[in-house]
């Protein structure tokens, strides 16, 4: 809504008060028929805005989409969460959103002396929100799963020590051939690292 500029000029203190007190003001008949000077201005102003109640549904055709662009890379997602802080908080993780974009996640809780343990509560919530048909990376057999888990844990420990994201790749022999993996480990915490989030994916085979 446009607001007309109003003069900021203020009269000097007590200027003209004595002379104005003795002036007799009279309004002529012609003056009563004259329109106010702001009539045209008021006509040109837009209607008063209407505020929606919190429970009222918004008209999508009249609303501008202000949803921030979501990062497609998990490191970019981590950067968005931390903003200007050294590290993002573990509480900023939304499992329902993460499971749709990165279904193969492992969250570690950091204890004393770099003791990292999987966060079972996060794992349960992730399985509940994981879309059907999402391929699991631990399907290479028991031996591959053990070696892969140990490798991921090693990367997570290094990430906790460095307090910085880490991207690593490795491969393991399986019954059906060599399997290539990539893990991205991301630190979380307030001041010190208290959680490490790892995203595990199949890496493309080098040609």
What is the model's pLDDT at position 71? 59
- Segment 126-165, tens digit of pLDDT: 988 888 766 667 666 666 788 889 999 999 999 999 999 9
Domain of 151, CATH number, reads 3.30.450
Considering the domain boundaries, does residue 184 fall inside one?
yes
Considering the domain boundaries, does residue 80 fall inside one?
yes
Which long-range contacts (C-beta less than 8 Å, at least 24 apart) are formed by 100-105?
100/129, 100/131, 101/72, 101/74, 101/77, 102/74, 102/199, 102/201, 103/130, 103/131, 103/134, 103/135, 104/134, 104/135, 104/136, 104/137, 104/199, 104/200, 104/201, 105/197, 105/198, 105/199, 105/200
pLDDT band at 63 (very low <50, low <70, confident <90, very high): very low
pLDDT band at 78 (very low <50, low <70, confident <90, very high): very high
| Percent residues over pLDDT 90 in the chain | 35
Considering the domain boundaries, does residue 54 fall inside one?
no
Considering the domain boundaries, does residue 42 fall inside one?
no
């Amino acid at each position: 809504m446009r607001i007309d500029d109003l003069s900021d000029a203020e009269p000097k203190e007590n200027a003209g008060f004595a002379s104005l007190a003795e002036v007799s003001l009279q309004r002529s008949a012609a003056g009563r028929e004259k329109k106010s000077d702001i009539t045209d201005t008021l006509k040109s102003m837009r209607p008063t805005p209407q505020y929606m109640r919190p429970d009222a549904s918004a008209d999508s055709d009249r609303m501008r989409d202000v949803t921030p662009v979501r990062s497609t890379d998990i490191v970019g997602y981590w950067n968005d969460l931390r903003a200007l802080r050294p590290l993002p908080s573990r509480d900023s993780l939304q499992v329902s959103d993460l499971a749709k974009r990165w279904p193969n996640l492992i969250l570690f809780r950091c204890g004393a002396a770099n003791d990292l343990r999987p966060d079972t509560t996060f794992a349960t919530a992730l399985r509940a929100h994981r879309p059907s048909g999402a391929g699991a990376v631990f399907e290479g057999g028991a031996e591959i799963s053990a070696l892969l888990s140990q490798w991921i844990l090693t990367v997570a420990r290094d990430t906790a020590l460095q307090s910085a994201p880490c991207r690593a790749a490795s491969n393991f022999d399986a019954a059906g051939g060599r399997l290539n993996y990539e893990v991205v480990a991301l630190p979380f915490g307030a001041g010190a690292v208290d959680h490490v989030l790892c995203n595990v994916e199949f890496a493309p085979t080098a040609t």
